[in-house]
Amino acid sequence: MQYETVIGLEVHVQMDTQSKAFCGCSTLFGQPANTQTCPVCLGLPGVLPVLNEKFLQYAIKVALALNCKVSNYLKFDRKHYYYPDLPKNYQISQYDMPLAEHGYLEIETENSTAKKIRVLRAHMEEDAGKLIHTSQSSLVDYNRTGMCLLEIVTEPDISSAHEAYDYLTRLKSILEYLEVSDCDMEKGSLRCDANISLRPVGETKLGVKTELKNMNSFKGVRDALEYEVIRQEKALNAGELIVQETRLWDENKQKTFTMRTKEEAHDYRYFPEPDLPPFTIEDKTIETVRKELPELPAVKKERLVSEYKITEYDANVISADKYIALYFEEAAKEYKSPKTIANWLMGDIMNYIHNNQLESKKLAEILPVKYLIEMLELIDNNTISGKIAKKILPDMFTSGNTATQIITEKNLVQISDTSQIETIVDEVIQEHASVAEDFRNGTDKALMFLVGQVMKKTRGKANPQIVNDILRKKLGTT
Ligand code: ADP
Ligand code: MG
Ligand code: ZN
């Protein structure tokens, strides 16, 4: 039977506020265990939570950027469960009246068509602590307890692992533009649970889903979903029933395995949080936040296309990263060919950043825009070849020197002096007389070989265009 895949994602984003959701404790990452706690986030008797205003502002920002309707009524609920990382034995969350609903995020499918993934809801809640398991014992760190989380839940509109990956990438991009989270999956500031079911093609009823947890990268989410599609398909084809359950992704084995059968909402005994009375979010508060929204990636992409005449594809890649986009615009304003900037950014520069695990945020610091432009101008005025430029770029990153400094130091200035090149060309023709003859007799690729020889003798410094011209002239084909 032919099945189609149905996926819904639940993403928890840790909001990058300075203090926790309902107390004044610091949210600094990586501090000694249990040093950032207080009676409120430890849930000691008699304490009262107070909502962090920044948390609300950030949450509204995200909700608006995801095209949600923001509620005018803010209400919190208690979600009860017993677990050692949860000192109060309940989590302050939102149940029946989330902060925001009915949004969407536009993604791109495998065949590059745009598709809207509906956002069912986005609600505010507090984080739990962290358990650290050693071979002898389990330890608990409450530093994370009470941190600000926004949970963003999609409708089951996602149809493949690829689409899920694209959704996450675009969501992260938006969150980075908004400067509300560092979105670091490894640090746990972005976590994703993926719900997945299959159904026969043409069926409208949803199939039984499993919920996948424990992926610590977007690639992990994609791999886990790909694995789960095949596992469910096999089971269904064998006539087995899919059990509604939570499964964990094992990164090493590249498999999902059963963790627990799924709890239901009524297991949590939700009730309204009595210590945080509901209040009204005025329209004008929402509109103030809306006005402060930055230009978001989708809009920026279109503008880059129309303003700088780069391709949709290039604009898509560049606008996906806020810092790359900033860098691009700064450079494109100062340099005649935005397309050239785009090529360098998307090629050697992003590769370098990626391969050396640098943050794109740091790019402008490591390679100042004016250094890149200077390098491009050296190519334009034939001081260096593009090839040499590619070679010295990593040096520019590591040394912090300009292209001019590096080529002078390493004696890499391009040879454009024709008489000097002519001498070398003569040598090469002499040394490879038969190849030269082949070229005269019409074997075009023989020229490539001769150009290569000249470049070798000059250690890549000869201007390839001039070498080409001189060779053709001397071999009598121009
Ligand atoms: P739960 O209470 O189990 O967390 P929800 O109904 O709140 O379930 O949905 C959680 C996520 O699972 C949502 O993103 C939703 O779109 C998705 N989802 C719900 N049913 C299915 C299904 N049958 N197949 C795939 N995803 C689903
Ligand atoms: Mg769930
Ligand atoms: Zn605290």
User: What sign does the dihedral 463-468-469-473 (CA atoms) show?
Assistant: positive
Distance from the CA of 267 to the center of ligand 2, in angstroms?
Answer: 13
Distance from the CA of 196 to the center of ligand 1, in angstroms?
Answer: 8
Which atom, in ligand 1's list, is nearest to the CA of 155? 16
Do 312 and 272 share a domain, yes or no?
no
Total domains, the chain: 3
Instruction: Map residue 200 onto helix, strand or coil.
Output: strand
Do 158 and 129 share a domain, yes or no?
yes
Which atom, in ligand 1's list, is nearest to the CA of 206? 23
Q: Cβ(304)–Cβ(310) under 8 Å?
A: yes
Helix (H) or strand (E) holding 114: strand 114-126
User: What sign does the dihedral 430-433-439-441 (CA atoms) show?
Assistant: positive
The secondary structure of 121-187 as a DSSP string is: EEEEEE---EEEE-SS-EEEE-TTTT-EEEEEEE-S-B-SHHHHHHHHHHHHHHHHHHTS----TTT
User: What sign does the dihedral 363-366-370-371 (CA atoms) show?
Assistant: negative
Q: Tell the residue number behind the tokens 């249990």, with chain if given.
A: 34
Tokens of 313: 């594809």
Query: Which amino acid is present at 417?
Result: D
Residue 263 lies in a domain: yes
Q: Is the CB of 6 under 6 A from ligand 1?
A: yes
Residue 182 lies in a domain: yes
Do 246 and 315 share a domain, yes or no?
no
Instruction: Map residue 7 onto helix, strand or coil.
Output: strand
Q: How far apart are CA 218 and CA 41, in angstroms?
A: 30
Is residue 175 packed enough to be buried (19+ CB in 10 Å), middle (13-18) or exposed (0-12)?
buried
Do 121 and 187 share a domain, yes or no?
yes
Which atom, in ligand 1's list, is nearest to the CA of 154? 14
Q: How far apart are CA 254 and CA 251, in angstroms?
A: 5
Beta strands 210-213 and 245-250, pairing class: parallel
342: how many CB neighbours lie within 10 A of its CB? 23
Q: Is the CB of 389 under 6 A from ligand 1?
A: no
Q: Is the CB of 320 under 6 A from ligand 1?
A: no
Which residue's CA lies nearest to atom 14 of ligand 1? 8
Is residue 174 packed enough to be buried (19+ CB in 10 Å), middle (13-18) or exposed (0-12)?
buried
Domain boundary among 289, 319, 334: 289
Q: Taking Cα atoms as reference points, which of 244, 250, 246, 249 lies closest to residue 259?
A: 246
Domain residues for the domain of 338 are: 295-359
Q: Which pLDDT score is estimated for 121?
A: 98
Q: Tell the residue number behind the tokens 């520069």, with chain if given.
A: 349
Distance from the CA of 296 to the center of ligand 2, in angstroms?
Answer: 28
Q: How far apart are CA 327 and CA 368, in angstroms?
A: 9
CATH of the domain at 451: 1.10.10.410
- Bridge partners, residue 380, by sequence: none
Q: Taking Cα atoms as reference points, which of 373, 371, 363, 381 lies closest to residue 406?
A: 371
Which residue's CA lies nearest to atom 17 of ligand 1? 8
Do 322 and 450 share a domain, yes or no?
no
Which atom, in ligand 1's list, is nearest to the CA of 262? 3
Do 177 and 279 share a domain, yes or no?
yes
Q: Is the CB of 470 under 6 A from ligand 1?
A: no
Which ligand is the nearest neighbour of the Cα of 153? 1
Q: Is the CB of 203 under 6 A from ligand 1?
A: no
Tens-level pLDDT at each residue, the chain (478 residues): 899 999 999 999 999 999 999 999 999 998 999 999 999 999 999 999 999 999 999 999 999 999 999 999 999 999 999 999 999 999 999 999 999 999 999 999 999 899 999 999 999 999 999 999 989 999 999 999 999 999 999 999 999 999 999 999 999 999 999 999 988 888 889 999 999 999 999 999 999 999 999 898 899 999 999 999 999 999 999 999 888 889 999 888 899 888 877 666 678 889 999 999 999 999 999 999 999 999 999 999 999 999 999 999 999 999 999 999 999 999 999 999 999 999 999 999 999 998 998 888 889 999 999 999 999 998 988 888 888 899 889 999 999 999 888 888 877 777 878 888 999 999 999 999 999 889 888 888 888 999 999 988 888 888 888 899 999 998 886 5
Q: How far apart are CA 372 and CA 332, in angstroms?
A: 11
Do 450 and 323 share a domain, yes or no?
no
Do 278 and 129 share a domain, yes or no?
yes
Which ligand is the nearest neighbour of the Cα of 193? 2
Residue 407 lies in a domain: no
Do 64 and 169 share a domain, yes or no?
yes
Q: Is the CB of 197 under 6 A from ligand 1?
A: yes
User: What sign does the dihedral 345-351-354-355 (CA atoms) show?
Assistant: negative
DSSP label at residue 252: T
Q: Taking Cα atoms as reference points, which of 212, 194, 196, 208 lies closest to residue 249?
A: 212
Which ligand is the nearest neighbour of the Cα of 213? 2
Q: How far apart are CA 386 and CA 164, in angstroms?
A: 38
Do 283 and 333 share a domain, yes or no?
no
Q: Which residues surround ligand 3, an ion (CB under 5 A)?
A: 23, 25, 38, 40-41
**How many angstroms from the chain centroid is the CA of residue 161?**
16
Query: Which amino acid is present at 435?
Result: V
Q: Which pLDDT score is estimated for 382?
A: 81
Q: How far apart are CA 328 and CA 161, in angstroms?
A: 31
Which atom, in ligand 1's list, is nearest to the CA of 6? 25
Which residue's CA lies nearest to atom 11 of ligand 1? 8
Q: How far apart are CA 218 and CA 194, in angstroms?
A: 11
Question: CA angle 452-458-460, nearest 5°?
Answer: 60
Which of 209, 229, 242, 266 to probe ligand 1 with, by most ligand atoms within 8 A of CB? Answer: 209
Phi, psi dihedrals of residue 56, rounded to the nearest 5°: -60, -45
Do 260 and 327 share a domain, yes or no?
no
Do 159 and 303 share a domain, yes or no?
no
Q: Is the CB of 98 under 6 A from ligand 1?
A: no
**How many angstroms from the chain centroid is the CA of residue 143?**
26
